Each structure stands twice: as structure tokens, then as C-alpha cells.
Structure 1
Amino acid sequence: MGRSITFEANELIIKFSGLTVLAGLKQELRIPYDKIKHVQAGNFKLHWSALRMMGTSVPNGYKAGRFLYKGQKYFLSYNNASHVVVLDLEGYDYDKVVVEVGTPKQIKQAILKRLPQFV
């Protein structure tokens, strides 16, 4: 898949490998848990007018890299938009991070267990 998630004591690490690195122009994201304000699992739809800043975008398909929509900065890395985890962030480089994972609902629960505001 080209993406893996590691849970550290104070941050979530999303690592990209293979072609996923080239498409998204990033090897990893380190996101402190206290920057995560909301987590959802399942479907995501990028608005058609979102501006691709750097990365790859195939209509109705693969998205990777940095996008801008209504002043919000997104980092996307997915092929199947129905198998993603969406992180709403505050005080981080991106406002939203959307990443395809094999088990979105399980990853969401694992993230929620680590968020200081929900512990």
C-alpha cells in the first residue's frame, strides 16, 4: 500500500514508501496527538475546485500531496477514498490529513485512545 502508521508516546507517525513517496513528495508526517481535533474513518471527497499545490491528482482516483481548498491546507495520500482516515488538525502544517489505510475504523479507534482530550 505504501503507507504505514506508527503510534509513538506523543505523536502519530505516517510513513510513506515506494511510489507513494514520489507521488506525495513526502517520506513521513509526524503529528502530535494534541494537534488532532477530530478523526473520522470511511469516505472522503475532495471538492473539484481544490487546488493541487504539489503532488499527484488523477480524476476520480489517486490523490497524493498538498492541496488547498477555501484557505485550508490538505495533505492527501489515497487511491480508494472509501478506505481513509481523515484527521482534522489545529496548529499544524496542514488543516486536514487524509490517508488510505487497510482498516480505517480500527486506526480511528487507536488514534482516539491516544488523544489527550478524550483520555
Structure 2
Amino acid sequence: MKTISFEENQLIISLSSLETILGLTHTIEVPYGNIKDVSIEDIHQFLWKIYGTHLGANKYGYFRKDGVNYFVASSTNKGNLVLTLKDHKYDKIILELDHVDDVFQRIQNILSTYIK
């Protein structure tokens, strides 16, 4: 299960043991100043796998499409948290989360008060 830690200046996304194996990474640090947008979306597009795992709706790892770099950790196409980033290794991070609405709201609240 993924966890998101809300630090003073950044989000820290930590993947579970299995997700780490599938996605070939354990944590991703995202400074609040790098977040352009946050949304909850259904993701049905095809992405080219660079490294990681892709089987059906299960996607874990680094993907690319049309010059956009994605990190995806999801086993569903519906209701994923999407972070759109600037000046970061990834242009978009797509995550399946428990309580996605609560996490989405908390990130929106932080971004509305965070001075970039």
C-alpha cells in the first residue's frame, strides 16, 4: 500500500514492498513548488513502458507518451490521483490510493496556502 507523507516543503510518496519491486523505486520526493495541478482522473490511455511492470490495468514504474514522463503506481484505470508537475523527473505521477478524495483535498489545501 502506498503512503504519502506531508512534510513541510514536499510530499514523500512511499511504495509498498511489492510495488517497489514492480515499479523499481521505493520513494519519490515532490516539492510542493513543483506541483502545477492535482486531480482525480480515470486513466485509459496507452503508455509506453520504459521500466517497471504493465499487465492489463496494472501499471507500476516509469512510462512515457508523446514526450511526457509518467510515474504510475496503479492497478485500476478509475479514480487515480494525478499530480501534474514542473521541473521534476516526472511530468505526471498517477497513483491508486485508499481515501483518494481525502488526499486530494489535503494537497489542494496545501497548494492554496503554499508560497511558491
TM range (shorter): over 0.9
Which of 41, 49, 56 is 1:52 aligned to? 49
Tell me the equivalent position of 1:36: 35
Whichever residue aligns with residue 76 of structure 1, its letter is V
CA positional deviation for 1:83: 3.2
Q: Which runs of 5+ in 1 are unaligned?
A: none
The Cα of 1:4 is off from its aligned counterpart by 0.6
Given that 1:38 and 1:89 are in contact with CA atoms closer than 8 Å, whether structure 2 keeps it comes out as yes
Structure 2 Cα separation of the partners of residues 66 and 83 of structure 1: 20
Give the ranges of 4+ consecutive aligned residues of structure 1 lying more than 6 Å apart after TM superposition: none
What's the counterpart of residue 79 of structure 1? 75
Q: TM-score normalised to the size of structure 1?
A: 0.90
Determine the C-alpha separation between the residues in 2 that align with 1:108 and 1:94. Answer: 19
1:67 corresponding residue in structure 2: 63
Specify every segment of 5 or more residues in structure 2 that has no aligned partner in the other structure, as ranges: none
The count of corresponding residues between Structure 1 and Structure 2 is 113
TM-score, with length taken from structure 2:
0.92
CA RMSD of aligned residues (A): 1.0
- On the 8 A contact 1:83/1:103 being kept in 2, the answer is no
The share of aligned pairs that are identical, in percent, is 30
